[in-house]
């Protein structure tokens, strides 16, 4: 019944990648499944706000609103995302207070999470690039339900 958050990436030709997935070992409790669904919905909402000219903080607000609406606002303890390229964390920062507009070609993470101290946490992260019409994910799409792996 353990919940495991796995955050990893690689480097190719000096460019970095990043991805986070959350899995349950053996089985997932109803609570873990529900928290995962909330984080997944938050991830989708954040990505849905991405388009050229949108302020970075609007992506953060879209993702955060889902988690706050579910009653876990105080358990989302980090920014929604960060730029990635030749450095692991670089502009743009997807966080409240960042009014910088998104531009076509920028790459950044969308990685909302909920963390319940002493119990478990859930985070889903994909890297996206801004396109003329919105965005494109550079990772495989995250599953809409938590993955359960053998014990």
Q: Report the CATH number of the 3-149 domain.
A: 3.90.230.10
- Residues 102-150 pLDDT 10s: 999 999 999 999 999 999 999 999 999 999 999 999 999 999 999 999 9
Distance of CA 148 to the CA centre of its chain: 19
Distances from the Cα of 62 to the Cα of 8, 48, 142, angstroms: 25, 8, 18
Model confidence at 66, pLDDT cuts 50, 70, 90, reads: very high
The yes-or-no verdict on residue 151 having pLDDT over 80 is no
Tokens, residue 101: 């507009």
**Quick check: 123 and 20 in contact, CB under 8 A?**
yes
Cα–Cα dist 120/51, whole Å: 33
DSSP character for 141?
A: P
Whole-prediction pTM value?
0.97
Rounded average pLDDT over 20-43:
98
Distances from the Cα of 2 to the Cα of 19, 34, 109, angstroms: 20, 15, 25
User: How much is the pLDDT for 88?
Assistant: 92
């Amino acid at each position: 019944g353990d919940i495991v958050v796995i955050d990893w990436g690689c480097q190719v030709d000096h460019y970095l990648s990043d991805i986070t997935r959350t899995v349950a070992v053996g089985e997932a409790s109803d609570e873990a499944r529900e928290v995962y669904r909330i984080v997944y919905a938050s991830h989708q909402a954040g990505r849905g706000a991405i388009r050229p000219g949108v302020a970075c903080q609007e992506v953060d607000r879209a993702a955060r609103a889902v988690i706050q609406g579910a009653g876990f606002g105080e358990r989302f303890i980090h920014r929604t995302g960060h730029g990635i390229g030749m450095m692991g964390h670089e502009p743009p920062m997807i966080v409240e207070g960042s009014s910088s507009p998104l531009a076509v070609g920028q790459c950044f993470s969308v990685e909302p999470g909920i963390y319940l101290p002493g119990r478990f946490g859930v985070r889903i992260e994909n890297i996206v690039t801004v396109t003329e019409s919105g965005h494109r994910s550079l990772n495989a799409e995250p599953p809409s339900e938590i993955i359960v792996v053998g014990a």
